[in-house]
Amino acid sequence: MEATAYWTIAAGQGELRREQLPEPEADQVRVRTLASGISRGTELLVHRHAVPEPVRALMRCPFQAGDLPGPVKYGYLSVGVVEAGPARLLNRRVFCLHPHQDVYVVPASAVTEVPDGVPTERAVLAGTVETAVNALWDAAPRIGDRVAVIGAGMVGLSVAALLRRFPLGRLQLVDIDPAKAAIAARIGVPLVGPDAAAGDCDLVFEASAQADGVAAALRLCGDEAEVIELSWFGENRPSIPLGADFHARRLTLRASQVGRVSPARAVRRGTSDRLGLALDLLRDDAFDALLAPPVPFADLPGTLRAMDAGRGTTLCQVISYPREGACTS
């Protein structure tokens, strides 16, 4: 069987390539893709050949082919239907951390069933919501907490969408772009600019990938409060204000990263448990606010070029792979 996959072949250039697929072995599945998602921040770095050399190994995705900067087959938000494999998975929709490809063969252990009631397009957000789940396990928000989330990108919005379920005293989403207010309203969280954000927070989640965002997070903290840092700065060395009253106020700056399960849950939860939880949480239709209308797989090379040129403010661009008779909801 042949498959078609998207490859980044040079800086700013990509193409669809044909490749041969092996027959699945007893412990493998063949998945026919229904939808995939472009994670704007990471995948545009790959598209531009802008991933710093020292971190290329860290950014390798599970079923990547080729090496960064390229040519490389990259991506990690894929939802499809199992058309060959163990009986328990046949004709079931599954999520997989796989690059953009219309059909692929992977170990059965690499796919997670999509719950009934989670639409296929929304399910592509599972990898991002999994990051947000890990951040909440790291932070452990408490009843009545005053919380701010800095940065209304995919991760920040996902964190805010989960936090709105908690009995918090206050929740604000902070971003410099007022155009994000409409998206924030759809998930039910007020968006404010950095200068209008309320201080004396118990917890601040930082997901802006900007040094100014980190500074704002520290400024919004109350005494002995905690910042959960979700941004990845690559080789950049942001200037962070750790002088002044940082020590006197006993502030905490903690890293949160999805590569490992939060220590607060690692004894009792594995990565498959965390991903399963993320998919279950995606029953919430508020997450549709993060999705752009789907474009056909055939248009993926041009879509990434348009995104790279700055056309549109899409958070997660959905790619559709139509298949007659496939289960889509």
DSSP three-state, residue 217: helix
State which H helix or E strand residue 16 sits in.
Answer: strand 13-20
Question: Rounded to whole angstroms, how far apart are CA atoms 319 and 36?
Answer: 5
| pLDDT tens, position by position, 199-234 | 999 999 999 988 899 999 999 999 999 999 998 776
How far is C-alpha 126 from the geometric centre of its chain's CA atoms? 7
Question: b vs e for 194-229, b when ≥16 Cβ sit within 10 Å of the residue's Cβ?
Answer: beebeeebbbbbbbbbbbebbbbbbebbeeebbbbb
Q: For residue 328, is it within any domain?
A: no
Residues 294 and 234 grouped into a single domain: no
* List of E strands, 103-196: 103-107, 111-113, 146-150, 170-174, 191-192
Residues 86 and 151 grouped into a single domain: no
The answer to whether 193 and 168 are in contact (CB under 8 A) is no
Domain that holds residue 163: 128-255
Counting Cβ atoms within 10 Å, is residue 246 exposed (0-12), middle (13-18) or buried (19+)? middle
Q: For residue 272, is it within any domain?
A: no
| CATH number of the domain to which 153 belongs | 3.40.50.720
Residues 8 and 78 grouped into a single domain: yes
Amino acid at 165: R
Amino acid at 25: E
pTM above 0.85, yes or no: yes
DSSP three-state, residue 98: coil
The answer to whether 72 and 8 are in contact (CB under 8 A) is yes
Residues 68 and 158 grouped into a single domain: no
Question: Rounded to whole angstroms, how far apart are CA atoms 304 and 157?
Answer: 22
Question: Rounded to whole angstroms, how far apart are CA atoms 320 and 37?
Answer: 9
Write down the pLDDT at residue 314: 66
List, for the chain, all residue ranges whose pLDDT scores fall below the cut of 70: 234-235, 311-314, 324-329
Cβ atoms < 10 Å from Cβ of 164: 16
* Among candidate residues 152, 174, 131, the one with its CA nearest the CA of residue 281: 131
Question: Rounded to whole angstroms, how far apart are CA atoms 175 and 152?
Answer: 6
Residues 112 and 156 grouped into a single domain: no
Q: For residue 251, is it within any domain?
A: yes
Write down the pLDDT at residue 232: 78
Residues 7 and 119 grouped into a single domain: yes
| CATH number of the domain to which 94 belongs | 3.90.180.10
- Per the structure, the count of domains in the chain is 2
Q: For residue 273, is it within any domain?
A: no
Residues 116 and 39 grouped into a single domain: yes
Alpha helices in 232-299 (DSSP H): 271-281
Write down the pLDDT at residue 101: 98
Residues 152 and 111 grouped into a single domain: no
The DSSP output letter for 269 is -
The DSSP output letter for 179 is G
Residues 139 and 66 grouped into a single domain: no
